[in-house]
């Protein structure tokens, strides 16, 4: 009977699972991921179920979805691409730089993790949390540090949900009221030809420079092409809805199932959560600081708050930039301009992950 | 190579690499946008030219 094998650690993990499920249901914190992750944790911590034993249910999902084939994160990116409008980036390509700057938090945390005694592979998996991109975090962790997959994924999704709490104090600290009031020109209209050409161009450019980013960037851009071509609406709808939902279910259960008590309840899990917060903070700050630096040379000033949207929590970070801007000036609408660095951050984080893989695998 | 030397290498190539990729992408998008706008302006100009002929 399972009762005789139940440990105190299992019970603690049940508590963690319950907290995640409650946060998801009552507070709406990333419910699509945290509900299945929470339940996966619960299942992994019921003794003798052996769902993660070879050839058993969750092992099959994990082995083929994440461990051996690693197809789940790229499939999530297919759906993300089908849902993403890259027009703000196309209309103002300079915002790609803000998406790049926001990856600084990844490397600050990378060094911080090394200082705390993590290996270089583990440090990379922890650092990528700063990119605020769940699928990329899972993709990289599964390849470089599979034992940390559960902790890094839960940290990434938890902090993505807490962007409206984490970012505003940093944004107010690093900007003046006058800077927050900067109004930006309305973005130009982007033609259909540009929107169709962008995914093709981005795929060729980034995959030629960083071939290891191809699984994520390729799938992101094919999803986007489905959306923008206008002739494969069925595929676009499937990618955004049915496929995304199916893959999300498997992803959440797999991630949760990698967190049995004996793996998760270690001091390093707490370090990962702390480092994840540092990563987010530095990513937010570096995006803002680059925007301020760019303003030294630009005639048309950028509102530096949009730099904070370079963390790729789409569209939450862009909405937060809008909210903070409107605190100073109720008629200052920067949401669309903030979407530029926001979606650029997704490209930036996937590129950073590809570069980690190319240097550490 | 020591761990820290490798880490610095990863940082410089990694962070620098992200910037280089996105700068190249930015330039590519700017060039492509100009070409796309030129093609579209030419297409929207053609019917008027043909009517005059």
B46 to chain A, any CB pair closer than 8 A? The answer is no
Residue from A16, A61, A55 nearest A39 by CA = A16
**Measured distance CA(A8)–CA(A174) in Å, rounded:** 44
**Measured distance CA(A156)–CA(A33) in Å, rounded:** 11
In order of A67, A254, A255, A339, B5, the CA distances from A44 in angstroms are: 17, 10, 10, 38, 39
Reported as a pLDDT band with limits 50, 70 and 90, residue A313 is confident
State the alpha helices, DSSP H only, in A175-315.
177-180, 192-209, 214-229, 233-238, 244-257, 261-264, 267-295, 305-308
A110 to chain B, any CB pair closer than 8 A? The answer is yes
Extents of the domains making up chain B: 1-41
DSSP-assigned states of every residue in A130-156: GG--HHHHHHHHHHH-GGGHHHHHHHH
Contacts of B36 in chain A (CB under 8 A): 191, 193-194, 197
Q: Which residue is it, tokens 């290498």? A: B9
Q: What value, to the nearest 5°, has the Cα angle with vertex A100 and ends A167 and A193?
A: 110
B11 to chain A, any CB pair closer than 8 A? The answer is yes
CB B18 within 8 A of CB A358: no
Whole-model pTM: value is 0.89
**Measured distance CA(A292)–CA(A304) in Å, rounded:** 6
Contacts of B20 in chain A (CB under 8 A): 209
Extents of the domains making up chain A: 67-360
A151-207 residue pLDDT tens: 999 899 888 888 989 999 999 999 999 999 999 988 899 999 999 999 999 999 999
pLDDT at site A52: 83
Mean pLDDT of A247-261: 91
Is B53's pLDDT higher than 50? Answer: no
Chain-chain contact of B7 with A110 (C-beta, under 8 angstroms): yes
CB A114 within 8 A of CB A120: yes
ipTM of the complex: 0.87
Angle between helices A267-295 and A104-115 (to 10 degrees): 150
Selecting from A90, A120, A344 the residue whose C-beta is nearest the C-beta of B3 gives A120
**Measured distance CA(A163)–CA(A124) in Å, rounded:** 22
By percentage, how much of chain A surpasses pLDDT 70? 100
Measure A231 CA to nearest chain B CA, in Å.
20
Q: For A140, what's the count of Cα atoms within 13 Å in the CB-facing half-sphere?
A: 36
Size of interface A-B (CB pairs under 8 A): 101
Is A318's pLDDT higher than 80? Answer: yes
DSSP state of A189: P
A275: which residues sit within 8 A by CB, 6+ positions away? A109, A112, A113, A116, A126, A127, A129
Is A349's pLDDT higher than 80? Answer: yes
Reported as a pLDDT band with limits 50, 70 and 90, residue B46 is low
Burial class of residue A153 in the structure, from the number of CB atoms within 10 Å of its CB (0-12 exposed, 13-18 middle, 19+ buried) = buried
Chain-chain contact of B14 with A193 (C-beta, under 8 angstroms): no
Contacts of B22 in chain A (CB under 8 A): 96-97, 99-100, 344, 347-348, 351
DSSP-assigned states of every residue in A79-143: HHHHH---HHHHH-TTHHHHHHHTTHHHHHHHHHHHHTT--HHHHHHHHGGGG--HHHHHHHHHH
Burial class of residue A88 in the structure, from the number of CB atoms within 10 Å of its CB (0-12 exposed, 13-18 middle, 19+ buried) = buried
Contacts of B41 in chain A (CB under 8 A): none
A181: which residues sit within 8 A by CB, 6+ positions away? A325, A328, A329, A332
Residue from A150, A148, A126 nearest A44 by CA = A150
B41 to chain A, any CB pair closer than 8 A? The answer is no
A118-156 residue pLDDT tens: 999 999 999 999 988 999 999 999 999 998 998 999 899
Selecting from B18, B20, B32 the residue whose C-beta is nearest the C-beta of A352 gives B18
CB A279 within 8 A of CB A111: no
Contacts of A206 in chain B (CB under 8 A): 21, 25
Is B50's pLDDT higher than 70? Answer: no
Query: Integer distance in angstroms from the first to the last C-alpha of chain B?
Result: 73
**Closest residue in A to B14 (Cα–Cα):** A355
**Closest residue in A to B4 (Cα–Cα):** A114
A274 prior amide bond cis, ω within 30: no
Chain-chain contact of A205 with B21 (C-beta, under 8 angstroms): yes
Number of Cβ within a 10 Å radius of residue A229: 15
Reported as a pLDDT band with limits 50, 70 and 90, residue B51 is very low
pLDDT at site A170: 95
pLDDT at site B12: 95
By percentage, how much of chain A surpasses pLDDT 90? 73
Which stretch of DSSP H or E encloses residue B45? Answer: helix B3-52
Average pLDDT, chain A: 92
Contacts of A205 in chain B (CB under 8 A): 21, 24-25, 28
Selecting from A201, A347, A351 the residue whose C-beta is nearest the C-beta of B32 gives A201
Selecting from B14, B28, B37 the residue whose C-beta is nearest the C-beta of A205 gives B28
Is A237's pLDDT higher than 80? Answer: yes
Q: Which of A26-40, A188-202, A227-241 has the lowest mean pLDDT?
A: A26-40
B31 to chain A, any CB pair closer than 8 A? The answer is no
Chain-chain contact of A124 with B32 (C-beta, under 8 angstroms): no
Reported as a pLDDT band with limits 50, 70 and 90, residue A314 is confident
pLDDT at site A1: 76
CB B7 within 8 A of CB A123: yes
Q: What value, to the nearest 5°, has the Cα angle with vertex A68 and ends A266 and B17?
A: 80
Selecting from B25, B39, B40 the residue whose C-beta is nearest the C-beta of A206 gives B25
């Amino acid at each position: 009977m399972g009762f005789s094998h139940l440990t105190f650690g299992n019970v603690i993990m049940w508590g963690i699972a319950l907290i995640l499920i409650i946060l998801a249901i009552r507070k709406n914190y990333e419910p699509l991921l945290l509900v299945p992750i929470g339940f996966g944790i619960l299942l992994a911590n019921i003794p003798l179920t052996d769902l993660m034993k070879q050839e058993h249910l969750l092992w099959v999902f994990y082995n083929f979805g994440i461990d051996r084939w690693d197809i789940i994160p790229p499939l999530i990116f297919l759906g993300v691409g089908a849902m993403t409008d890259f027009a703000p980036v196309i209309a103002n390509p300079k915002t790609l730089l803000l998406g790049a700057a926001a990856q600084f938090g990844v490397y600050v945390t990378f060094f911080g993790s090394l200082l705390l005694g993590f290996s270089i592979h583990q440090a990379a998996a922890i650092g990528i949390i700063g990119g605020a991109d769940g699928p990329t975090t899972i993709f990289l962790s599964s390849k470089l540090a599979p034992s940390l997959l559960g902790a890094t994924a839960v940290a990434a999704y938890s902090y993505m949900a807490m962007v409206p709490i984490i970012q505003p104090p940093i944004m107010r600290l690093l900007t003046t009221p006058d800077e927050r009031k900067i109004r930006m020109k309305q973005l130009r209209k982007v033609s259909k030809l540009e929107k169709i050409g962008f995914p093709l161009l981005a795929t060729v450019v980034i995959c030629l420079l960083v071939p290891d980013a191809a699984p994520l960037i390729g799938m992101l851009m094919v999803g986007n092409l489905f959306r923008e071509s206008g002739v494969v609406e069925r595929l676009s709808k499937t990618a955004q809805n049915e496929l995304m939902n199916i893959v999300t279910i498997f992803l959440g259960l797999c991630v949760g199932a990698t967190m049995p008590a004996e793996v998760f309840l270690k001091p390093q899990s707490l370090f990962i959560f702390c480092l994840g917060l540092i990563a987010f903070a530095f990513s937010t700050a570096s995006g803002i600081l680059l925007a301020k630096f760019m303003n030294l040379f630009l005639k048309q000033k950028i509102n530096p708050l949009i730099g904070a949207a370079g963390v790729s929590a789409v569209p939450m970070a862009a909405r937060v930039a809008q909210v903070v801007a409107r605190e100073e000036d109720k008629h200052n609408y920067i949401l669309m301009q903030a979407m530029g660095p926001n979606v650029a951050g997704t490209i930036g984080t996937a590129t950073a992950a590809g570069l980690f893989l190319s240097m550490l695998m | 190579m020591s761990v820290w030397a490798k880490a610095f290498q990863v940082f410089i190539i990694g962070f620098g690499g992200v910037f280089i990729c996105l700068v190249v992408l930015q330039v590519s998008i700017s060039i492509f946008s100009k070409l796309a706008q030129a093609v579209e302006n030419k297409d929207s100009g053609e019917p008027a030219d043909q009517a005059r002929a």
